[in-house]
Structure 1
């Protein structure tokens, strides 16, 4: 099986996040599993998504975890939720990719998991760590491209108490571990004054098992690097300031539209909420090839308030990105 990414597939399945020429923070939630059609293709058929970058991104995650094991942490009271998350993701994978992923229940509490993409053939007893080669969040995290956050619900709040996050966008899972939902979103401009954060938390706490929801989030990034956690800021942060010196061709290749498809799933056994984050990126030079995307992204960037562009980390090159996209439009006859 080839490990080379198919860029055409990247375009067809890219979750372009804008439906109008302006953008403001919103809860932006809708039922999961319903395909969204775009000018280039469609996305959103399933809760988990495997594409041509599967092997590459799993290898990146393993390398990140070797260098920084703190990217995966499970507080003691969340160990049952980690098992619940693993089994839930196995079910989602087997539903989405039945030709290569299968989960069989062999007896009460005993399962047989096969992932033909990675060569895994594993029988295990649910809840018994002796029957897995790794702890459950590590085992399943090595088979999905999504980052995983597990939220405990107590005291009428949600708390970030477990997860495996290697591809964060300018935040730190280790720093946020143990924080409440509202504390985690404290730095985001506008969402507290408008009540968006509180409404989003209440919505998540009303989730029912078997009824997952999703939303998108987005930013611009430089270089196409997936791991943009605050722990590695010295490795990727300085590149943002150098974008203004790039030639036009290099600017279009280096600056990416970065989109997260985020799923909220109520775990049936533990009652916790699983928050999945799948990150997609396309360089502006590719975005510009799809005319509706080019024109809409240019309009969104030009109109976006400065505080939002600053929080998302691209204020320094926001105007150039909008101008660059507009300059790619064909001249009027």
Structure 2
């Protein structure tokens, strides 16, 4: 049987900081953007105060990213004209991290007091990193600048260049993709990348999102959420690895209720949209959070809302998200968790 649902609070930071994505009982594609940086209070806690979020999974997820990149370097790409945007991203994210984590991270300009405005020192005490570098000088970093900063944030990073009245995904480090391939998409336009998503063009959502992004201003970051279901606590469900995780969608239909609730996760992306101040490119951050249904069900408002949304989701959207085979069971499982209370 599913676990008994309760409305009691928990001290588990993966629950208290979870960005539950459903503000109402029905989900449809929308731009759903809002200014970044404001706290979102939930029945379990809150999230959203930091653009670059660091949690208890920090070191483990960075280790996983390093292993993925070692196996598949194609998850990292920077087209030649995006070199400046890569440096812009590095400095922007370092500033964000130092601002929100001053006890663990420090960014100092001209640490030697020589008057060199391009000289910086970055300290990340969580990783034991002290790095002096000159902005724009690749030789002063141990890695390409986008790869270097990606090794210290849990977010995936995609950089969009704006030219010819369009946006192009011309750089990034993406190791935790949800059923897509950065290596395939790099160099494509924003509209081309989102072409396979059902309903977006018919409803005008993708066009509105494209126009919104083109109007983004520096120092005014925005955020949005996206979601799906994932089987197991697997961050990397990229298209490249489909032979490894694809069969789980069939397997999960045949497990018992306890195993189902433990393995099926609500997977939420918090996506931040930042106009970089120097290059003018857009930094698209994708941070992934996962919570198994058995933990989700312990927060009563989440259990009820998630069951309603998943059950109501149209067939084409459930199919695109890859959950069509087990979404009815997921909704029923959540409902049964309440009945067993």
TM superposition score normalised by structure 1: 0.97
CA drift of 1:331 comes to 5.5
Aligned to 2:241: 232
Aligned to 2:38: 34
Q: Deviations over 1:173-229 (max 9, x none)?
A: 000001000000000000100110011011011010000000000000101100000
Query: Pick from 12, 22, 40: which aligns with 2:16?
Result: 12
Does 2:68 match 1:64? yes
Alpha-carbon distance between aligned partners in 2 of 1:43 and 1:201, rounded to the nearest angstrom: 26
CA drift of 1:130 comes to 1.1
Q: Secondary structure at the match of 1:316?
A: coil
Q: Secondary structure at the match of 1:80?
A: helix
Aligned to 2:301: 292
Alpha-carbon distance between aligned partners in 2 of 1:299 and 1:187, rounded to the nearest angstrom: 26
Aligned to 2:54: 50
Alpha-carbon distance between aligned partners in 2 of 1:297 and 1:142, rounded to the nearest angstrom: 33
Cα gap change, 1:246/1:331 in structure 2, threshold over 3 Å: closer, same or farther?
closer
Query: Pick from 76, 79, 92: which aligns with 1:75?
Result: 79
Alpha-carbon distance between aligned partners in 1 of 2:170 and 2:306, rounded to the nearest angstrom: 35
Q: Secondary structure at the match of 2:43?
A: coil
Does 2:133 match 1:129? no
Q: Secondary structure at the match of 1:242?
A: helix
Alpha-carbon distance between aligned partners in 1 of 2:311 and 2:69, rounded to the nearest angstrom: 38
Q: Deviations over 1:44-63 (max 9, x none)?
A: 00100000000100000000
Aligned to 1:24: 28
Give the gaps of 5 or more residues in structure 2.
1-9, 111-115
Query: Pick from 114, 126, 151: which aligns with 1:117?
Result: 126
Aligned to 2:287: 278
Give the gaps of 5 or more residues in structure 1.
1-5
CA drift of 1:330 comes to 4.0
Task: Give 1:163-182 correspondences, 5 Å limit.
Answer: 163-182=172-191
Q: Where in structure 1 do 4 or more consecutive aligned residues deviate above 4 Å?
A: none
Alpha-carbon distance between aligned partners in 2 of 1:138 and 1:183, rounded to the nearest angstrom: 25
Give the RMSD, CA atoms, in angstroms. 1.1
Does 2:99 match 1:95? yes
Aligned to 1:3: none
Greater RCO structure (CA 8 Å; 6+ sep):
2
Alpha-carbon distance between aligned partners in 2 of 1:54 and 1:244, rounded to the nearest angstrom: 32
Alpha-carbon distance between aligned partners in 2 of 1:190 and 1:122, rounded to the nearest angstrom: 46
Corresponding pairs, count:
327
Query: Pick from 320, 326, 330: which aligns with 2:335?
Result: 326
